[in-house]
Structures are given as structure tokens and as C-alpha cells.
Structure 1
Amino acid sequence: MNLWPKRLTRLLCVTVALCAVQVPVSLAQGETPPDQLVVGMSMINLLSLDPAAATGLEVAEVNANVYDMLLEQDAAQPDTLIPALAKTWDVSPDRMRLTFQLRDDVRFHSGTPLTAQDVAWSLQRVVTLNRALASTWKAYGFTADNVVKLMRAEGPHTFVMELPRVTDPMLVLNTLATSPSAFIIDRSVALQHQVGDDQGAAWLATHTAGSGAFKLDIWRANDVILMSRNDDYWRGAAKLRRVIMRNMTESQALRLMVERGDLDVARGMAATDIKALGKVDEVRIQSIARGTLYYVAMSMQQPLFQDIRVRQAIRLLIDYQGINDVVMPHYGVINQRPLQLGLPARLDDPGYRLDVTEAKRLLAAAGHAEGFKVTIRSLTDPPFINIATSLQATLAQAGIQATIITGTGNQIYGAMRDRQFDILVGRGGGGAERHPHSSLRALVYNPDNRSEAKLSNFQGWRTSFFNPQLNQLIEQAERERDPGRQREIYAQIQTLYDQQAGAIMPVSQMVDEVVIHADVRNYIGHTAATTRLRDVYKQR
């Protein structure tokens, strides 16, 4: 079977040296097959396909096309949840019970009908296996001891989830619509490959057992993914016959492939290459807002930053406008709040700007008129290192001598998890869930500041920023039933966080830019990275 156009095969082996060619004024007609989508992207972080353990944007896009969820976040309107496997869902008056009525016409790729028992088992195993993606469900109060009782089938097409503690049901529904842990697995196929009590985990790391619009045919780690159309898909067969994803980590190689028409979609390109391709008629650039924030963080293990005046001074020594105008195009847009842009509960930006004079006054009042020495930890990749370099320069204007320490993700975020840093340029937040609690839980909430608590999943804990009043308000807002009152509490939280000069200072909200050949239609990048390709086609 001929899976690859000859020219595509040849170009996949192109060397970096060839990537320095001149950008043509226009592109050759795309040479990828009309019924196949060829995607270039980095797969170095694609380590497992198991929904219980698969983290990262890359795997979410793969699994979104081979698995289904109970409900989905509308790609065009992210604040809207739409039916998928669940035709309808209902929240009990006390908001402690969610009931889902499932479609009765869904079959897995194996041909087995999908039932509520598959749904219950799929979600239960995330908690009982206790791997990377269990943390969100544990935050809702689910445990290995209670999950089988609380997540259960009540008949072949009715799934019930009882909440173990009071929370906002909309938050849980958003998790079911966006989390990589919420894909529904063919229980019978997974258990056929069970080893010991792993519930099929070893097999599911490299295979899939879903009901989605495409079937996984081949996955070779750090090389290629091949998916073919599921002709029996319950929504109707996808318009494309095949999807091919290639591991490509060099931005210039991606750019060359796009220029020659041998890639339909390219992800993970450097800003300079995206900018160059933006001038070409045959290419479109699609910006996808992500929920994560780029930030400057300070550790309050460092006595300097326990003084609110020093934190306020650092906040005034960040050149927000300059960073977002010069560094962040193609990476992010300005956001000075610990909440995602576009949420109804989010207040307008407080308008912080570079103010060296006021920063010097605050430092002098704190006893640091001559400044001090600190380190800034940052990844070597843009835009992190560019933000760090800008911060280093503006700190120097107030007499603060900052040394930049670079490293890998494990080195930089590892130091943060160990609370062994001064200042750090990072990225984090609630991600895909369109709910204020998602961001606040990740960036602000710190229920136990003791070192032995080791709450490294909370970035607030990593900075040692601890404010009992903020914790109480976050918990209160999560439980609040009245939407108006809940919004008021979220406004209080944002105002108080500003007044206390919280240790994580948002600078910009992440934007992911995808390069798409102009003949590709209906490709809508998803904020949750669950970009579904079932309606994508080519017009030539």
C-alpha cells in the first residue's frame, strides 16, 4: 500500500542545511493527496497514548480523533458545551449528582457497542491507576476507595457521577469536555490486554481502543502517526481518508515543507518562520488561545520577597508592554490577571507598566536602596529566555543585579517544585477548562504551605505564597450556587491578589499558532488541544 507520495518521502529526509532557501513569493500547488491530511509537529513529548497517563498538547490532538468524550467544548465557542456520547446531561437540585443519558448507536472500533459501563470504567481507572491525570479528579474528592461507588452505570445507557464534595458542577462538566483523562475506552479490548492489575495500561500506552472518527494504524515514537477513517463512525464518516502526522522538530524544516506544499498543517514553528510564511498567499496562520499564562514568579522562601514592597517593586520592573509588543507576537497576548481572558468573571487588566522611579522608592522603603543580587531561572527556548533577558535589563535599572540560569524543563520547573529558586520565568495555569477555579487552583491556591506537604501540583505552593483569606474565598467561590454572587467573589479574589502582590505575576496568555495550507478547509484549532479533524477536507 502506497502511504506516502514520493516527493513527501524524499522531503522528510531533508537536512537542516537545505532549510536556508529563499522563501518563494508563492507556493507550488500542494502535492499532498486530496483525501489525506499531512501534519508536521514535534512528538518528543508524546510519550504515551493512555488517557490515564497521557499529558501534553500533542497527544490530546491524537486521542481526540480516535476516542470520544461524553461532551465536547465547542471549538468555535469555547464557553459552550455540546453533546457527544451523552445526548443530554442533568444536574440534581443539590448539585451533587450528574446524570448522563448516552447515545445507543455508538460502536467502538472493535464493533462492540459502547455502554455506560465503558464510561464508568474509563473514568474510574484514571483514579484507581493514580497516574499523571488523576490529580484533577482527586481535587474533586474522588479516591480509589470511593470512585467505583460514585461513578457508575445505572442501566446500559445511563451514567451517573456523584460528587464526593461540594463543587461547581460546571467545573466538572468542563473537565469532562476538555481533560485528556475523559476519553472513553473500549473496556473489553483493554482488559483483553491487561497485565497483572494494570487495566490494560501497558498496551494502551502504544495502542488505542476508541470509538472516534479515525482509527490508529501506526504509531512509531518520535517518527510517525498514521490514522485511517472509521467508516462506521456514529456521526458519519470523516471527509478525509487518512491523517499522517510526522515528527518534525526543526522549524526551518517545517517551513520548507510548507513552502513546497508537502505539508498541509505545521505546528510548533518559530516566530520568525511563522512571520515569513504569513506573507505568502497560499498559507494561513491560525492563532489558538490557550488557557495557560506566561508569568514571572518569586519564591517567598527567599526572605527578600517576603516583603510586599519588594514584590510590588518587581511588579513595576516588568516591562509588560515592551515584552508583549516585541517578544510575544506569535506566542501570547497581554494578560495581567491570574484568570484566562474572556471569562465573564475576569476583571480588566490592572494596567501595570514599567515604572522604575516608583520601584526605586519601594525598594528604598524596604531597605534596599542600593538594590541586591538575585537569579532568574528560565528555559532556553523563546519566549521564556527573551522575557528573562528583558526582566534582567529592567531590574538593573533599579540596581538589582540578576543572573540568568537556564536549563531544561526538569531543571527549571524541578527547582520550582523543590522551592529552590529566586525568580523564575514560567508558564502554567488551569489550561483548557473555561472556569475561573481552574486557573486559581493552579496559580494561587495553597491550602497547606508546609514544606512537608509537598503540594507541588499547586504553583502557589511552589512559590510559598500563602494567604488564608484567598484560600477561603477560592473555596467559597467553588461552592457558591448563585452565579452573580460567585462572580462577585471572583472579583474579590482578583482584587485581593493584586493588593497582596501575589508571587506569580502574569505577563501574557499563551497563543499557539498553526500554519495551514490555504486549500485545507474546516480546520479549527481547539483551545483544549482536542482539535478534531472529522470535518476537515481540501478544496482544490
Structure 2
Amino acid sequence: MKRLAAIVALASTATVTACGTTGASDTAQQGGGVYTTIDGSKQINASAPINPFNPVGSVFAGYNGMALAWQKNDPIDPDQFYPAIASSWTAAPDRSSVVIHLQPNARWSDGKPVTSEDVRVSIGLAYTQGGTAYALDPKAAGAAADIKVIDPKTIEITQGANRSATFLGNLLSTVVVPAHVFGRLLPPDFWQTLKTAQQASGAAAEQAKGKITGLAEKVIGFGPEHDVSAGPFVLERVNPGAALLRKNPYFYASRSIVPDKVKVLNYTGNEQIWNYLISGQLDNAPFTSVPTAVMRRIREARGSGVVTGYSPVSTSMAFNQARKPYDNVHVRRAIAYLIDRAQVTRIASPEGGTPAATTSGIHAKAARVWLGSGFDALDPYRVDPAKAAAELKAAGMTRRDGKWAMPDGSPWTVRIHVPASFSDWVAAAKSITSQLSDHGIDATVVTAADYTLYLGELAQGKYDIGFWLIGLGPSPYNIFQRLYGQANGWQMFGGRLKHVAPGTEGNWMGGPETADAGPDGKVDPGELTAKLNFVSPGEQKRIVGVLARVANQQLPVIQLWDYVNTQFVNTSRYTAFPPDDDEALRLSSGVWMQLGMIKKRQA
């Protein structure tokens, strides 16, 4: 799948100096050399401001962008983090508060110390964007209620009454910016306005919330004159082809940072990244979908290597159950029995995925931890045309002249929608339609011009079947939100859960509000998913087991393959990359450097 972020049109422009092609002096091997990579989360926009709140901003996580902490790649525990701006933290046993201790030697690239006030201002700016720990609704699960500066290096954040198991993880992921640069964006009465929004009621609270959210565009569009970074690097300049960052001498762990500079190359798609790798230009590239033939060419480059690890993401084929015949579970099961997932994976993601063992809603590695022996008890839906035919007959489908039709005899065509730019999804969809056609089901692939259009039309319920990423862990709440959250009709308002009708408010999956969970009886999957946000670990494990069984039997999606985090490295210039299955593999090379990895290759 292409690792491209949707580009958001913004009126503001940065005052960073744009230049032509990076000169030879930038690539010359100095003491530590120039480390070359790409940012897998976005393309470079040379006119974007140096602002982490801007979705295309010239801030690169782990290099000149810093969070309180960096999340480890643990399969089931979302609270496992590496220190960053925060050197340590202590959460109250009841999750009511977190005390954060900042790195004692942390300084900004202009020499000023990083203080609790920087964190406080960063949190204030995060409130203007909303969501996660910084929702303005006091009833929202996991919302921060109070921010207290204890001393210049210690700050305490209190959680609201509706506590969430994801609070610590969301809090530690907070991006930190310098108060002396960004603080001017918050009006003098901001904190009193925030207090009113959180504690008042009626018109006063709504007016206060409006004032805070009204700052969002101003915050997103803000462009500092130059980069002030607390990370290991500072942005020197950016152009349409690359961003160049130089080492920050004030970084608290500067002795661990080997390269003198980092060059982040721009790209327009997978093919350009492949060419960078084949020519040996990149020291590292994060996950990129690569066909086998291209992988062979990449491996032939001098120093080229591959590191693999766990990636808590799976690709699925999701049904719009508000559309016939996909409202019938027997039809969904029949299709599952006709798809050879191993063949699909070989064609679509041979280097970046493993065939899904079954449909559970969870990546297999995490599922085995959550479910134990219960994982093997799930129906694997191995290819079985006889079972598929029996399921179709149970759904009332008819077969004439070797073709399956609707119960009333009208033609049935399976239409699978995918974004045209996702090469692995297009290949997978074509493989599936071919397999279905072999068993008498007319099937076709329909592509959307781009991913943004695809997501919009998917949310509007325009598709019968579409591809959908699931298993987004490690939080069990986040995992099952993909199946039993907003896309399937369950929404949280004012701390209370409600279910909306199919085809409304983003409910494109159209599943029923309750489901038969076998020995667990009739359950409300959305309600169980919401409980994952605040119940004890033991209760989480029980609920995960119930939801996995519901997903396995009701098949709102068919899990196709579980991603493998395939990272590309080149040891021609640098060594000491993380090994296979390292917990840091989903983080940027900048974070690896902070953790003491990445050493200059000795001649």
C-alpha cells in the first residue's frame, strides 16, 4: 500500500527558505555524514509551515519533532513507551492522574530549557484540535481535566471522571512545542475559557468550546520564522525534493546522535521509493509495499538489507450489510469459503504480509496473546466450495447455468471497491474476483481515483464491498472500533453510546445492533467495544474473546492478510540498525538514534 498522507490545502505558507536541488556540500561525508531516508507518513510540502499541528508541516517525528514519549511495538499493551521529552512518568493506580518528569537536560535548539510550561502550552494547543486526551467534552472518556505545573521539570495531568484505559498512551503521545514560539497562539484568557468549557453547562459551556475550537485554523496555519527544535535535529531548509536537517547541539542526548545531517527525500509513490532503494540512496525506508521482482533488485544493491517485525494492522474485505445480499451472514460466509487467502497474499503483499489464519478482527500475533487456545477454536474458513454452496443455498441464492443469482433469480455481481493508488489492494481485489468467478459468481473490481475520494464514498455507503484496515492495536478498544465503532453505527455522545441507522452519520457497514455470540448469548458488540476503554485488564481479555468470536461467526469483514513491518536498511554508510522484531521498528530512524542505535560504518 502506498505510504502517502492525504494533502490538505492550506492558505498559509512557511517562511522557510526554499532552494533548488540540494547541493554537493549537503551530501559530502562530514564527520558523521548525511543520513538519508523518507518520511513514511507524508509527502514533503515545501510551502508548509514548521508546525507539527499542520498535517503536512515541515516537522518530522523523531528528528525535529518530539513527543513526550515514543510508543513501543508491544502487541497488546498500549502503555509501553520509550522516554523522549519525558524522562519518566507515574500513573495513579486508578488512572486518575499522571505525573510526568521531563528530561533534566532537555533544551531547545536556541539554548532555552524545555520546561513544564512548554508541555502546558502544547496541551493547550492540542485542545484546539480536539480528540483523544484533549476532548473538550468533560464527559468524554479519557479527557484531561486539569493540568498542574508542579515545578519547571514536573507536571501533573488529571483525568476526568469518565476514565479511559487509553489515557496514559494518548497523553504520552502529546507533541511538545516551545512556549516562547507557539504560546502567542493562545489568548490570555485561554485557561479560564477551557475551565468554563469543561465545568460550566448550557450556553456558557458551548460558547467556551466554540472559542477554543475556533482557534484550530489559526494553530494549523501558524508558521514560525525558523525551526526551534527539542529533537536531535533542526530543519535547515526544505524544497520540493527534500528536507535537510542539521544536528542540534543542545539535544539532551546529542552524544548518541552520529549523523551530522539528515536528508528526508520526497516521493510521489511506491515506485519512486523502489528506485531510491535500488540505487542505494536510502539508509533506511519504512514499510513500503514491494512486489517480489522489485525486492530482488533492491536486495542486489550494495549494503541493502531487510529487517522485519510485528505490525498491528491487517487488511480485510468489508461488507456493507445494509445492501443485499450482504445482509445475510450465509452469503458472507460463502464468500469466505471461496477465497484462498494464501494465494491473495502471494499476489498482493508477498513481502509485507502473511495470510490471515482466520477472521478475528485482530492481527494473529496479538490474537494469540489475547485469546490463547481460543484462537485455534475459531473457524479458519479454509477454501471449501461445498460449504460455500451450502451457505449460498441457505441464503436462498439460486444457481442457473453455472452462475449464482439472487433469490428472485436476478443477476448477482460482486463489486469490490478499492483505491486505484493502492497497488496491493488492487491486486488482491483482482485475485478475489478471479477466484469467485471460478465458482460461478460474477465479480468485478471498481477503483476510486484516490484514497481521499475512496474514504469519502465508503463513509457515504456507496459501496457494497470495500477494503478496510483492521486490527489497529495495541489498544483493544482501538482494535474493535474498526469493526464495531462509528463505521458500523456506534457513536459516543456526551459520554453515552448510541447506535445510528445504516446509511447515516458514517454508518456504512450497516451491521445489526445485536449479534448472536453463541455460548455468550445475544450481545451488543458496540457496547462491549466501548467497555474496553475503561474496564480492568481481566475484563478486557474476556470481552476481546467474545468480540473475536462474534467477528469470526458474523463476518462483518473477511480478514485477508496480516501485515509484516518490512523495513529497508542499507549498511554501506551506517550500521547498528534495530534487529528483527525489535520494539522500536515502527518508529522513525530519528528515534532509533535517540535510543543509541545507528553508528557510522568504519572503513
TM-score greater than 0.5 by the shorter chain:
yes
Measure, in 1, the Cα distance between the counterparts of 2:158 and 2:457.
38
Measure, in 2, the Cα distance between the counterparts of 1:75 and 1:478.
20
Alignment of 1:324-403 (within 5 A): 324-335=345-356, 336-343=359-366, 344-346=369-371, 348=375, 350=378, 351-370=380-399, 371=404, 372-380=412-420, 381-403=422-444
Q: 1:421 matched to which residue of 2?
A: 463
Q: 1:25 matched to which residue of 2?
A: none
CA shift in 2, pair 1:208/1:123, >3 Å: farther
Q: CA deviation at 1:294?
A: 0.9
Q: CA deviation at 1:528?
A: 4.3
Verify: 1:436 aligned to 2:476, yes or no.
Answer: yes
From 512, 516, 529, the equivalent of 1:474 is: 529
Q: CA deviation at 1:114?
A: 1.6
Q: Does the 8 Å contact 2:86/2:102 carry over to 1?
A: yes
CA shift in 2, pair 1:254/1:393, >3 Å: closer
Q: Secondary structure at the match of 2:61?
A: helix
CA shift in 2, pair 1:173/1:193, >3 Å: closer
Q: Does the 8 Å contact 1:91/1:98 carry over to 2?
A: yes
Q: Does the 8 Å contact 1:106/1:114 carry over to 2?
A: yes
Q: CA deviation at 1:421?
A: 0.6
* Aligned residue type for 1:108: W
Measure, in 2, the Cα distance between the counterparts of 1:402 and 1:312.
16
* Segment drifting more, 521-530 vs 385-394: 521-530
Q: CA deviation at 1:282?
A: 2.2
Measure, in 2, the Cα distance between the counterparts of 1:176 and 1:510.
27
From 224, 234, 237, the equivalent of 2:252 is: 234
Alignment of 1:96-495 (within 5 A): 96-128=96-128, 130=129, 134-137=130-133, 149-169=145-165, 171-177=166-172, 179=173, 182-192=174-184, 197=215, 200-204=219-223, 208-220=227-239, 222-237=240-255, 238-249=257-268, 254-266=273-285, 268=288, 270-271=290-291, 272-280=293-301, 282-335=303-356, 336-343=359-366, 344-346=369-371, 348=375, 350=378, 351-370=380-399, 371=404, 372-380=412-420, 381-407=422-448, 408-430=450-472, 433-445=473-485, 446-447=490-491, 448-450=498-500, 455-456=505-506, 461-468=507-514, 469-481=524-536, 483-495=537-549
Q: 1:51 matched to which residue of 2?
A: 52
CA RMSD after TM alignment: 3.7
Gaps of 5+ in 2: 1-18, 188-213, 405-411, 492-497, 515-523
CA shift in 2, pair 1:253/1:396, >3 Å: closer
Measure, in 1, the Cα distance between the counterparts of 2:526 and 2:90.
30
* Segment drifting more, 225-234 vs 301-310: 301-310
Q: CA deviation at 1:243?
A: 0.2
Q: CA deviation at 1:233?
A: 0.9
Measure, in 2, the Cα distance between the counterparts of 1:147 and 1:155.
23
Q: Deviations over 1:357-383 (max 9, x none)?
A: 211111111111232223110122321
* Segment drifting more, 149-158 vs 184-193: 149-158
Measure, in 2, the Cα distance between the counterparts of 1:210 and 1:453.
45
Q: 1:509 matched to which residue of 2?
A: 562
Q: Secondary structure at the match of 2:254?
A: coil
CA shift in 2, pair 1:346/1:168, >3 Å: farther
Measure, in 1, the Cα distance between the counterparts of 2:323 and 2:30.
55
Q: CA deviation at 1:399?
A: 2.8
CA shift in 2, pair 1:138/1:303, >3 Å: farther
Q: Deviations over 1:385-444 (max 9, x none)?
A: 1110111122223432122111211232221111111011233553xx522222112332
Q: Secondary structure at the match of 1:67?
A: coil
CA shift in 2, pair 1:471/1:216, >3 Å: same
CA shift in 2, pair 1:489/1:208, >3 Å: farther
CA shift in 2, pair 1:92/1:424, >3 Å: same
Q: Does the 8 Å contact 2:344/2:431 carry over to 1?
A: yes
Measure, in 1, the Cα distance between the counterparts of 2:220 and 2:99.
28
Q: Does the 8 Å contact 1:286/1:514 carry over to 2?
A: yes
Q: CA deviation at 1:82?
A: 2.9
Q: Secondary structure at the match of 2:308?
A: strand
Identity of aligned residues (%): 18
CA shift in 2, pair 1:243/1:452, >3 Å: same
Gaps of 5+ in 1: 10-29
* Aligned residue type for 2:481: R
Measure, in 1, the Cα distance between the counterparts of 2:529 and 2:182.
39
* Segment drifting more, 398-407 vs 346-355: 346-355
